[in-house]
Every structure is written in structure tokens, then in C-alpha cells.
Structure 1
């Protein structure tokens, strides 16, 4: 099972996440308490291995801004958390992860045809698009609608529930941010535990 640790804001956390086995790290470039400037993301990325995904999270950003930030920071994937159209996704130069808040299977069916490399299933919208740490009922998801997609599961995951979520959804990757934090900051112990649980190490 592949794991993405999102909301990275400093070099040490990025390095620790990879050391513990993270396959991807995420940088938020939208309104969030975890938002980072492109230059800081670039500095963090310069300390990470080449084969690790460096994902930029955007919400209703212009194509020009996304491409500029991606180039400055050295991103490898673009995660779209807003109301971006199919045409917009196709126009981007890097692989696209389209995030949707799971509400019901009817909504999921609409995105079944969305032109993206990966579909991220997130929890309910809160103050921000994504990163709210809210889970949804995984049992409600019609797995058949996901067969043609590489699914990334997010929303309310933590070291205690990630194994259960994986068994139900069987995603390509799991994505966590607030679930590995203590008092709003990344907790290295929780990151390590989450990755081990997700990968079946413990």
C-alpha cells in the first residue's frame, strides 16, 4: 500500500516521512493553516529522493499559477481540490489527482469519467476544501465505480482506522494530514505508526 503524507511545511518532517516509508508528500498552495510558499516547498523537495511523489494541492487556482508553482517547487503531481473542469485538468502538464468529497455514489458516478490519473476520495467539506480530518462511511462507496481509477483514499484517516479503511476500499494509496498531527503539528511517532499500519508492517 502506498502512503502520502500531506501538509508538509518543513524539511525535517519531509525527510522523516520518507525515512519511515512514505511514497508521496503533499504541499498545500491553497488557503490552509498548512499553506507554504513555492520557494519553501522547493527547499524541502531538494532534500527528498527523486522517486518520491511531490504533490501540490490547489483549489480553483489559475493554470498559469499552478504551472509556475510546479516549476519553481519541483512538483511531480497536481492535486485539484476545487471546481476545476475536465478541460482544465487535461490542459495541465503534470499528472492530475482530482479530489472529491464523497457524498453519495451518484456524485461519484459523475467523476467516474473525469480525465485524471488518480481520483482522491475525501471526507466532507469543512472550512477548507480538504484537510478537514473528517471521515465518511466507507461502506457506502460503490467499489464498482472505482474499478477504472487509481483511487487515493483520504479524509479522517489515522493510525487507528487506516487498516480498516484499506480493507474496505482497497485503494491505490492512502493520504493523511491531520490524522498524524498533535496539536496542529506533524507528530513523527504518528507518521511512523500510520505508515506501518497502512503497509501492514504492524
Structure 2
């Protein structure tokens, strides 16, 4: 497993962003684990997470020149990533959207750098149904930007519906024709759990969940 994947999973455990037990998802499925990027709730935690995002994007060799954060969770994630790139010597423009258009002041739905003519990297935590990501893609294109790719923290690698054999991340990538990069996946989590005695008790439940809902 690459260093940024293991580092991310350990950071998620430390922040309690990654938890094990029984969790009811929006889909109604009962999952043996749950990921909540909102638990990266300090400067140090976000900085560590942003470094993992940057390493994953660099490993993928993606060409982009703007960072975009979809409201809401994508906003602090994209901001932290832009700061991490600045720390590494690359000062990237940053933009994000409002959930609702502002009708006073400067107005509109966009805040930050202009999107026109730029290749945007969309930064978010997960892709569940893909609705928020598709909305972000439409916003970028309407503003004259070009979606270059999407980076998420965790790909659960599970079927988005019972009647399909692809995950939400795969569906967006195939539909939009752009890459979806994950800092880590369920497969990585399984490998990580297999290497750590403290997580060994959860591995069978993770394997059973993947066998029932997984796409790999």
C-alpha cells in the first residue's frame, strides 16, 4: 500500500473520522464502518488530510490549474488542498459554490477565482449518489471551466444500487469521461486492517460487507 493511503487511514482513525460498528447508511444498508470527513475538525488534522489528497493527485499525474470545492464539505477540503499546494510551491486559484444563489452584493453562486478557461480539480469527501458532484460539474462548465478530474477521500467500492454492478464513483467517471481519484478505497482499508492487530476484529465484517455489496 502506498504511503499516502496508509497515512490517510491512520489519520482518519486518529480523528475518529473512520469508525467501526453498525451504521445505517442513507441507502438503508447496515455498514460495519462509517467515514465522516467532518471529523477532521482542526488545523493539524486538515493539513494532514490535505497532504494525503495532494500525494494521491500527484501519484495520478492529473493536469489541472484550479481547485474547486462543492458546498459544503468540499469547501474546507479544497481550501486545505490549495494551502497544501502553496506550501509545496504551487499557488493555485481556488473556487467554490453556494448552495443557493446570492441575490445581493456580487450575486451568483460562485465564490473565488474565475473558472473560465481553467481545468478544475473537484475536491470532495466521498461520492454517494453523485448528485452533488454532477451539480458541481454543471456549475464549472456553465462558468466556462473544464472539469479535469475529481479527488475524494474514500471510495467505498460498493454498488450504488442493487440493479447495477458499478459504484457511484465509477458511474460518475464513466458518465462524465473524467478520472475519479480516491486517496484510499475499501480494498486499502481491508489491507490496512489486516496489518494491524487492533483492527483485526473488524476485518471479517468488512469482507462480508464487500462480498454482499462490493464491485471488486
TM-score range, shorter chain: 0.3 to 0.5
Q: More helix per residue: 1 or 2?
A: 2
TM-score normalised per structure 1: 0.35
Kindly name which structure, 1 or 2, has the bigger radius of gyration based on alpha carbons.
Answer: 2
